[in-house]
Structure 1
């Protein structure tokens, strides 16, 4: 069944299947019951005819004689004009009287000696029903028993069974039609809350993400709660986006205003030295603004790329060496003691996006260099996950950057991964986006960025990544 099939149609099809299955079983049971009822009614007539004939038996001079009573034949004939059979046999096996050579076997005779029997048989190519019983000569001089067999064709039974079945089938069909009408009404009533929910959602404006207050049955309450959580997430994302836009506007407005004022002052001066100083100031401000715009684009790109689907096995220790070597030659890190500490056997393989992890490491090192004083120690470290069993095989590795700078006050730690958050410090040239970008990259790899203060001083920024098997043909 296609997922696009309506719920109403699915319920209807399931009800049809269930009713058809149960209806088939009920019709089979009704037909079987009709045949049994017809057999019971007609067997009662055979029994009445047998008893009537038995009462007409006489034993004058020790010999059984029978004058077939008309009432017995009337009982056997029935209203369907059945063909009637009778057969009387003495205990010595001599047939006394009969109107047909009935297919009575020795086993049937033996059964009738003990109790009255009702059996189906075939005579002259037609199905017949026979009833046999043994009759004693009570009240006469002789005690010689005889066997009396009577029967008739099954046509009347079959017609009676069909008549009973048609009545049952007619009642069942009427019940099915009434049930179908009631189910249609009930289904429309039960699905009314779903229609109201659909109409409510369709009538909403695109920017309306307020919670739903629609009254629904308990089975739909979870759906409404899920939608309300979705709306709440959308509100949070919208508020975060608006805050980001406001903060970005403020961050861009400040250097642009500085550029404008510097250029205006330079234009009013005739001194080439003033022009030169203004150009240096404009260059520095433009460089900071360009870097800020680049980081905002990186953060926006990471937040809208979705989950990473281009991961590949990569040696994390090699990537750390490449990034550390690159930063060792940069002017921004020459006043710091940048080091690398790998506390694990190498190589260390993880599944990740190389470009994203490269960006993460660059932002972490840049952030540490900007927010620590000259001469501070900055260490890139790889170690086992602290939460894992030290005696077992480590399945996760912790990537961390540590410094011995001034650290951050406890109240600001939880906000450091938010955009434009500087930990209440305004004495640096940082944009406040480095850790936010690093946190977004960590989320793409299934880990949140953790920021903690070190003892006695300093800051540690870390994230935990799952290890993977090295690719085939790699050098271990």
Structure 2
């Protein structure tokens, strides 16, 4: 089993992933913004330089001439000692003046006729930035336009963009560190109720299942309510177990005390006939005690069995016939009218545990024979109820009071009947078996007298061919 990951570590990991993802996007955006800001600043210098140079353009005798003013060179000469380029060309393609053979294409010249143009280019292995515009010769005799291109290398732009990005990144790292500190404090504060709950649970004794009284945030209230419900269930189970142990001790103590007193009386006399009567009583009491112990073991087994992995396709009608035939041959049922009614023309298949359902039927019939007077009619019935089948037993005995019906499935409950040798475990075992099959044991009083017990079971989708 892998080691559990702490909630704090899991939250930290997700925060790191989120911050790293957002941080990467923010750094990319900061670098892009820094480059754009550097381009805007340096392009402004190129525009100012080109306007200054354009103002110095003259047309003596109709021929354009240009003397680069010192102010324009000062504008272009940045603190990073950029290489400066200029290019003046007439509209007919004649070069007027230039200091480098710049890579100006026809497309760039065409775009410059419509307005100022800014382009990146490669020149002599270096990346450069060019700004071009068309200048009209307004105010002179000639109206011949000329194109003016100025530029410089991109080194200064890259350095400026790096400086801007470095400032942004520094602020970002500082914000991340501050955020990490605040998140750590917030996480410790938010998880403190979990630590308080853990300390409370560790400080408890193993037998302390009282409700937890602890102030927790609303998000943890459901967890606390679940724990308290679990403790409540454990209290109920413990109380039920203690009652069962107390009842079982009482039920076992009575026949054992009878055995002891009977044997003591037999030992006090010399009459063999008394010994025989004592042995007969001991045998009967031992049989009842053995049956009681067997039922207690069956109930305990049902309460502690794991998942119903023993379910198999089962022909319920066949099992019912076999059980009824077996009981019809027993002496305990000879004084009763034991009958069987199966309202199905085809085999009734279910997914069930054969041993458990057989135990249920044995307990039903045994209870009916014990708690009804001789001559009573006991009928077992199997009938279709929609997509389910109903397995039931009905007798015409004295029945039980209406207020005692709901208690009949409790262990050692005998509906205030003290005139029989029953232990009061049969219906508790039957109810446990019904629950293992996804249903509950239902008990109804009949009119004018008698009692009916039944369970509803789901049919199998189709019986296996081999079993059919």
* TM-score, length-scaled by structure 1: 0.96
Residues of 1 paired with 2:342 and 2:43: CA distance?
98
What count of residue pairs does the alignment treat as equivalent? 468
**How big is each residue's C-alpha offset from its partner over 1:296-322, in whole Å with a ceiling of 9 and x where there is no partner?**
111111111133212111111111111
Cross-structure match for 1:81: 81
Structure 1 residue 138 and structure 2 residue 130: aligned?
A: no
User: Does 357-366 or 227-236 show the bigger shift?
Assistant: 357-366
CA–CA distance in 2 between the matches of 1:163 and 1:178?
23
1:445 aligns with 2:437: yes
1:423 corresponds to: 415
* Aligned partner of residue 407 in structure 2, secondary structure: coil
Report the counterpart of residue 391 of structure 1 in structure 2.
none
1:36 aligns with 2:28: no
Q: Which digits, 9 at most, give the CA deviation of each residue in 1:173-204, with x for residues without a partner?
A: 11111111111111111111111111111110
Return the alpha-carbon distance in structure 2 between the equivalents of residues 284 and 60 of structure 1.
145
After superposition, where does 1:230-379 map in structure 2 within 5 Å? 230-379=230-379
Contact 1:317 1:346 in 2 (8 A): no
Q: Which residue of 1 aligns with 2:179?
A: 179
Identify which of 391, 394, 401 aligns with 1:402: 394
Instruction: Determine helix, strand or coil for the equivalent of 2:419.
Output: coil
**Cα separation, partners in 2 of 1:410 and 1:468, compared to 1, 3 Å:** same
Structure 1 residue 471, shift from structure 2 partner: 4.4
Task: Confirm whether residue 205 of structure 1 aligns to residue 205 of structure 2.
Answer: yes
Q: Using the alignment, how far apart are the partners of 1:206 and 1:334 within structure 2?
A: 53
Runs of 5+ consecutive residues of structure 2 not aligned to the other structure: none
Task: Tell me the distance in 2 between the aligned counterparts of 1:36 and 1:4.
Answer: 49
User: 139-148 or 413-422: which moved more?
Assistant: 139-148
| 1:60 lines up with 2:52 in the alignment | no
Give CA-to-partner distance per residue, 1:72-100, whole Å, 9 cap, x none. Answer: 11211211111111101112221111111
The 3-state SS of whatever aligns with 1:142 is coil
Q: CA offsets per residue over residues 374-411 of structure 1, 9 Å max, x none?
A: 111111111123xx4xxxxx1x2111111111111111
| Alpha-carbon distance in 2 for matches of 1:473, 1:257 | 55
CA positional deviation for 1:149: 0.6
Deviation at 1:344, TM superposition (A): 2.1
In the other structure, the counterpart of 2:115 is 115
Shift, 1:141, TM fit: 2.5
CA distance in 2 between counterparts of 1:450 and 1:25 reads: 67
Equivalent position of 1:435 in the other structure = 427
2:375 matches 1:383: no
Which residue does 1:463 correspond to in 2?
Answer: 455
Q: Aligned partners of 1:140, 1:311: CA distance in 2, in Å?
A: 110
Q: Distance in 2 between matches of 1:475 and 1:44?
A: 94
Q: Which moved more, 1:348-357 or 1:38-47?
A: 348-357
Post-superposition offset of 1:264: 2.3
Q: Distance in 2 between matches of 1:145 and 1:3?
A: 80
Q: Within 1, Cα distance between the matches of 2:433 and 2:228?
A: 28
1:472 CA drift (Å)? 3.5
Change (3 A) 1:247 1:475: closer
Cα deviation for residue 270 of structure 1 reads 2.7
Q: Does structure 2 conserve the Cα–Cα contact (< 8 Å) formed by 1:313 and 1:470?
A: no
Paired with 2:463 and 2:453, the residues of 1 have a C-alpha distance of 29
Deviation at 1:125, TM superposition (A): 2.0
How far does residue 14 in structure 1 lie from its aligned partner after superposition?
0.8
Query: Unpaired segments of 5 or more residues in structure 1?
Result: 389-393
C-alpha separation in 2, matches of 1:475 and 1:288: 38
State the partner residue of 2:102: 102
- 8 Å CA contact retained: 2:336, 2:376: yes
Q: Is the 8 A contact 2:311 2:351 kept in 1?
A: yes
Q: Quick one: structure 1 residues 408 and 276, their matched pair in 2 at CA, closer, same or farther if it must change by over 3 Å? A: same
310-319 vs 206-215, which deviates more?
310-319
Instruction: Work out the CA distance in 2 between the residues paired with 1:173 and 1:366.
Output: 82
Q: CA deviation at 1:155?
A: 0.9
Give, in whole Å, the separation in 2 of the partners of 1:155 and 1:384: 92
Query: What is the CA–CA distance in structure 2 between the aligned matches of 1:171 and 1:433, rounded to whole Å?
Result: 78
What is the Cα deviation at residue 274 of structure 1? 2.2
Rounded Cα–Cα distance in structure 1 between residues aligned with 2:241 and 2:32: 73
> Which stretch shifts more, 431-440 or 139-148?
139-148
CA RMSD of aligned residues (A): 1.5
Q: Is the 8 A contact 2:313 2:464 kept in 1?
A: no
Q: Distance in 1 between matches of 2:391 and 2:188?
A: 58
